[in-house]
């Protein structure tokens, strides 16, 4: 039942705004103060089936649209998103909870991705190679695959959909998009602007609802050959299993337990800047967040003191207030999980240096706020140093050498992002070579990837695919090798023939 006074939204299927077949709905509320953002269709398998059928029909014509023309739609979308950047930013501060500057960055990343992938419409490079036979030409080209099921999280509710839908669409695929139930209004606005940009009906469809209903059906649907998913490791494994029956292409972007290494020759003020931004930006709710800080023993005490001083100056509050440093976490479940790890850290013997409590007072009790938390004297095997917390918590780990620091950084199941602060070029290059992560920063934090390089990680962070850059095209295309023989006779490669 719709909430009195709250705006109701719909699914977008085959170019039309429609309710869920069941008529059921769910509510999106602000994590900052509990305000209702809107009421959305609680969809199920029947709605997914309708969207997939629309996308499959649209694919047959969309794949034949020249790729430069597909790219032009992305350019128009980029321009529209730029024009509406302030509006979408404001919505994000309210529905997701990011502070305004970070929300604007999220939107800007989608704008950048739209321009970048729009340009791929005039590239989509293949290769030509010389044949071993006379009078024969050969080349490889990229081919679209079909309908893409895009399942996205709440923490980057505009940027991550852009990482998935934009390369898929410019390559000639069509999409059924399931946004997170915590941020449906942002997913809705994303699709509205894309439709306004002139995307033909059925090319991009949005179906709101839970993972158990909408997501599961997308993963299992026989007419959806590609699934791209960002979320937890556990759900990623479940997606892989469910998709295996139909041998789907599965792209997974999963967790992280990222570390910043601070060596004894580092600029400590710069390192603290990087730690604060990486550990507490987006309230620590990033897969690239720095939840570990590995510090050389010679500077450990000094860095810990500087960091705690900075953290205790940070202000919690709604993301739309300009003086807010840290906004809320996404929901009550997240708040409880984060606090449970504080208790685990204390039980393990780590020293709580600051934070470690649910914040209230000054209106904070209306939302889901957690004080930024720093643990000291953490051992690398402790759970708070091994498991993804996904909140504003970081752990200081003392080491005595670069080799030990690299071993500790690599000693987790994930391999997304890593960082080293050092003014020694030799140490920096050793770290660049030996840190087993998909992304490494030197004298910067663990966050801040740009759209024209591959994004993704090693080990349990994913299944080997990458988002962004040209690498993203490999998720959404198949290679076709083409041979043209103009000799006028049958020639057989690899078969010895007398000249």
Q: How far is CA 413 from CA 16, 162, 385, 402, in A?
A: 44, 27, 11, 20
- Residue 178, H or E segment: strand 174-178
The active-site residue, picked from 72, 220, 253, 388, is 253
* Residue found under tokens 């020293």: 351
The active-site residue, picked from 95, 213, 287, 467, is 287
Q: Exposed, middle or buried, 22 (CB in 10 Å: 0-12/13-18/19+)?
A: middle
Query: DSSP characters for 144-163?
Result: E-SEEEEE--SSSTTHHHHH
- List the structure tokens of 73: 């739609």
- List the structure tokens of 276: 């604060």
CB 40 within 8 A of CB 32: no
Backbone angles phi, psi at 84, to 5 degrees: -105, 15
* Residue found under tokens 């505009």: 158
CB 468 within 8 A of CB 496: no
Q: How far apart are the C-alpha atoms of 31 and 27, rounded to whole Å?
A: 12
Per DSSP, which regions of 267-413 are E strands?
290-296, 351-354, 373-376, 393-399
Q: Is 28 helix (H, G, I), strand (E, B) or coil?
A: strand
Cβ neighbours of residue 437 under 8 Å, at least 6 residues apart?
258, 409, 415, 416, 417, 418, 457, 458
Rg (the chain; Cα; Å): 24
Is 171 a catalytic site residue?
no
Vertex 278: Cα angle to 273 and 283 (nearest 5) = 115
The Cβ-side half-sphere exposure at 390, using a 13 Å CA radius, reads 19
* Residue found under tokens 């992305």: 74
Q: Smallest Cα–Cα separation from 263: which of 121, 434, 421?
A: 421
Q: How far apart are the C-alpha atoms of 262 and 241, rounded to whole Å?
A: 40
Q: Is 290 helix (H, G, I), strand (E, B) or coil?
A: strand
Q: How far apart are the C-alpha atoms of 458 and 461, rounded to whole Å?
A: 6
Q: Is 361 helix (H, G, I), strand (E, B) or coil?
A: coil
Q: How far apart are the C-alpha atoms of 443 and 20, rounded to whole Å?
A: 49
Please give the positions annotated as active site.
Answer: 253, 287
């Amino acid at each position: 039942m719709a909430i009195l006074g709250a705006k109701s939204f719909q699914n977008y299927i085959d170019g039309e705004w429609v309710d869920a077949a069941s008529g059921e709905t769910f509510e999106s509320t602000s994590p900052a103060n509990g305000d209702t953002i809107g009421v959305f269709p609680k969809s199920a398998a029947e709605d997914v089936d309708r969207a997939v059928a629309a996308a499959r029909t649209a694919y047959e014509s969309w794949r034949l649209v020249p790729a430069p023309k597909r790219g032009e739609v992305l350019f128009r979308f980029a321009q529209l998103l730029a024009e509406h950047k302030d509006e979408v930013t404001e919505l994000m501060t309210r529905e997701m909870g990011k502070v305004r500057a970070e929300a604007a960055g999220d939107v800007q990343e989608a704008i950048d991705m739209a321009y970048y992938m729009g340009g791929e419409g005039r590239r989509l490079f293949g290769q030509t190679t010389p044949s071993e036979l006379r009078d024969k030409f050969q080349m490889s080209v990229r081919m679209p695959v079909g309908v893409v099921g895009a399942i996205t999280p709440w923490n980057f509710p505009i940027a991550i959909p852009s990482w998935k839908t934009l390369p898929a669409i410019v390559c000639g695929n069509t999409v059924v998009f399931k946004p997170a139930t915590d941020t449906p209004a942002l997913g809705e606005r994303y699709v509205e602007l894309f439709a306004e940009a002139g995307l033909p009906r059925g090319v991009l469809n949005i179906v709101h609802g839970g993972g158990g209903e909408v997501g599961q059906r997308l993963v299992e649907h026989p007419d959806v050959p590609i699934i791209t998913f960002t979320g937890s490791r556990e759900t990623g494994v479940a997606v892989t299993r469910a998709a295996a029956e139909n041998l789907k292409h599965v792209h997974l972007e999963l967790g992280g337990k990222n570390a910043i290494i601070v060596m004894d020759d580092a600029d400590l003020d710069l390192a603290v800047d990087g730690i604060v931004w990486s550990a507490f930006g987006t309230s620590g709710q990033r897969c690239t967040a720095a939840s570990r800080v590995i510090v050389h023993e010679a500077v450990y005490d000094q860095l810990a003191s500087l960091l705690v001083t900075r953290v205790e100056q940070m202000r919690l509050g709604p993301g739309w207030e300009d003086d807010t440093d840290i906004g809320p976490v996404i929901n009550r479940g997240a708040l409880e999980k984060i606090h449970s790890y504080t208790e685990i850290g204390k039980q393990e013997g780590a020293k709580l240096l600051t934070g470690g409590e649910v914040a209230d007072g000054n209106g904070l009790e209306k939302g889901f706020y957690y004080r930024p938390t720093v643990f000291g004297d953490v051992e690398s095997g402790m759970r708070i140093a091994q498991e993804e917390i996904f909140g504003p918590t970081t752990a200081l780990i003392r080491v005595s050498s670069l080799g030990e620091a690299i071993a500790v950084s690599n000693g987790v199941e994930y391999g997304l992002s890593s960082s080293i602060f050092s003014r020694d070029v030799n140490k920096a290059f050793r770290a660049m070579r030996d840190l087993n992560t998909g992304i490494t920063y030197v004298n910067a934090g663990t966050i801040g990837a740009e759209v024209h390089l591959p994004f993704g990680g090693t080990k349990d962070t994913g299944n080997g695919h990458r988002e962004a850059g040209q690498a993203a095209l490999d998720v959404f295309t198949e290679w076709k090798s083409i041979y043209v023989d103009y000799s006028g006779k049958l020639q057989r490669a690899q078969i010895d023939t007398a000249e």
